[in-house]
Each structure stands twice: as C-alpha cells, then as structure tokens.
Structure 1
C-alpha cells in the first residue's frame, strides 16, 4: 500500500493544482486547496478509483 502512495500522490497533487487554478479563493493557498480536495475525497470516496482504494490521505 505504501508503494501506491508514491503512484497516487502526483495525481492528488494535480487535483490540488487544478483546484487552485479553478477557484480564485484558493489560488494563493496551497494548504487550503489541499484541505478542500481532501474534504471532497472523504465526502465522495467513489469519485476516483484510488480514493475508493483508500488513498485519501496522500495529499502532502
């Protein structure tokens, strides 16, 4: 499972970058954007396959 974190962390980071570009309020705040995506991951774990597999905390 720890090997999967290495694979899915860049995907989660890309989602954080996407959120920072999409939402003006998150542009300056990397941590807020990451918390925003993490909240989406915990509320909607079926949104992405790696979130279903439990890779929700790989945002740091």
Structure 2
C-alpha cells in the first residue's frame, strides 16, 4: 500500500514539475531526498516507509 502511494507521488511530481516530466528516476530521487529531509510530511513516511519510489 505504501509503495503504491509513493509511486503516485512520483507521478504527481512528474506532472507538477516540468523539468521532471521525462525523468522518472530524478522524480523518485527528489522524493527520496524530501523523505530524508522532512519525514513527517506524509503519514506513511513517519512510520519509515520511504523506499520504493521508482
């Protein structure tokens, strides 16, 4: 379930930021960095489910 949410976040980031539109890996790296910097942003990140963004 958490993996599905993370993948949805990657899709959202690719739509939101034009420089990530064609870069799935860069979008997942951006979200991984955000998860490390601010783990309280999403409920499933608070429990430590920050992997499998791609």
TM-score, normalised on structure 2? Answer: 0.93
For residues 13-38 of structure 1, give each alpha carbon's deviation from its aligned partner in whole angstroms, at most 9, with x where no partner exists. 00000000000000000000000011
Structure 1 consecutive aligned stretches of length 4 or more whose deviation exceeds 4 Å = none
Answer yes or no: is 1:55 the counterpart of 2:49: yes
Q: Which blocks of at least 5 consecutive residues in structure 2 are unaligned?
A: none
Kindly name which structure, 1 or 2, has the bigger radius of gyration based on alpha carbons.
Answer: 1
Task: Report the alpha carbon displacement of residue 59 of structure 1 after superposing the two structures with TM.
Answer: 1.4
- Quote the RMSD (CA, aligned, Å): 0.8
Structure-to-structure mapping, 1:1-60, within 5 angstroms: 7-60=1-54
TM-score, normalised on structure 1? Answer: 0.85
How many residues in Structure 1 have an aligned counterpart in Structure 2?
Answer: 54
